[in-house]
Amino acid sequence: MSTKIIFGRPDIHEQDIRAAVRVIRSGWVGMGAVTAKLETAFRKYTGARSATAVSSGSGGLFLALLANGIGQGDEVITSPVTFPATANEVLHTGAEVRFADVDAAGNVDASKIEQAVTERTKAIIPVHLYGRPCDMDAVMKIARRYKLAVIEDAAHALGATYKGRSIGTIGDATVFSLYATKNITAAEGGIVTTNVRGTDTMMKLLRSYGISKTAWTRFGKANRSMPYDTMLPGYNLEIPDVLSALALSQLGTYARRLARRKQIWQQYDRHFSTLPVGLPPAYRDGRHAMHLYTITVDRKATGKDRETWVKELARMGIGTGIHFISLHLHAYFRKRYGYAPHDFPNALDLSRRTLSLPLTSGMTDEEVARVVRAVRKVCNG
């Protein structure tokens, strides 16, 4: 048996490792100059006014919500087809989550957003699922009509564009993930971009305990201890330089990484187009970040349910993922809000039939060919 193709394997090169080692040898591994460089690089890459690096994408969502005034008694509308962090961070602010059903591609349906708006609604979190941007014109139109903040969950969407605009520059804030499985990784971390003056200042303050001077300002940059003041009760959501170095190095080669993802995506499309499975719908409004390649499977078309697909592919050494089981089906959200499975029919359908196949910029041609052969075998076996 060949080595298993691990789903979501990070594409870390020697130059990335050397970048992290340089930080380790520098004597300053905490948040400092390298993190500042990462923020500058992200700002330039996305075209946003500012970028704030944080310890995780989840932390970034939390800070973006707080910086936009979301708190106790408020409601935030988002998609149920997402990782739990999207909804969890809303609850952590003291606000409540309201879900809106998704469209056929898995992104939140703008018409369903409007139906979910109440007098308590204060924000929308559109999730750019799989790296495919949401219909941001429709989302922003609703936001302007009801005076709502828009905080984009772009954990999957680094490098994506919508009608000529970079994801990271459209809403009030945009949150990217640098987790191990993402298109570029810091092992763990996140970035929040914004064009709104004051939002970045508040997020940076909240990120670093709410104090006026960070450790780098006090001990590293100035090379002397400096007094600081507590401006508000903040959090420790800093990302250390040793992790920022990984992401900064990878961002420098992201054009190549994204091109490789596109190449693999197109090969999958070509090979699977004749099989009885659903393929990702084409995206024509800009650039897809191609984070997750998902097919939809069902027993009627192939004679096998998704569980069987997962097991048979695993026996052939192919790792897979399920993105996602809709949050309204999860025990916590079901109990808290009393959801029934068919409350969000499109989300329910995707939850039952979606299967993610391996897709990383580090995959070899032979690994891609193995995935293709395995999928064909499951279909024809």
- Give the type of residue at 347: A
Q: Angle 61-41-23 (CA atoms, 0-180°, nearest 5)?
A: 95
Taking Cα atoms as reference points, which of 88, 86, 146 lies closest to residue 116? 146
Catalytic residue selected from 182, 213, 311, 377: 182
Question: For residues 155, 157, 158 and 164, what is the CA-based torsion angle, rounded to 10 degrees?
Answer: -140
Taking Cα atoms as reference points, which of 381, 249, 270 lies closest to residue 316? 381
Listed in sequence order, the residues at least 6 apart from 82 whose beta carbon sits closer than 8 Å to its beta carbon are 127, 129, 153, 324, 327
Beta bridge pairs of residue 149: 123
122 is catalytic: no
Listed in sequence order, the residues at least 6 apart from 249 whose beta carbon sits closer than 8 Å to its beta carbon are 13, 15, 16, 19, 20
The DSSP call for residue 342 is G
Could you give the maximum distance between any two Cα atoms of the chain, in Å? 70
CA–CA dist 366, 292 (Å, integer): 19
Residue 260 has which token pair? 């490789």
Return the CA Rg of the chain.
21
CA–CA dist 139, 130 (Å, integer): 18
Collapsed DSSP state (helix, strand, coil) of residue 135: coil
CB 160 within 8 A of CB 287: yes
The DSSP call for residue 329 is G
| Alpha helix (H) residue ranges in the chain | 14-26, 33-46, 57-67, 84-92, 110-116, 136-146, 199-207, 215, 241-251, 254-272, 299-302, 306-315, 331-337, 345-353, 365-380
User: Annotated catalytic sites, by residue?
Assistant: 182
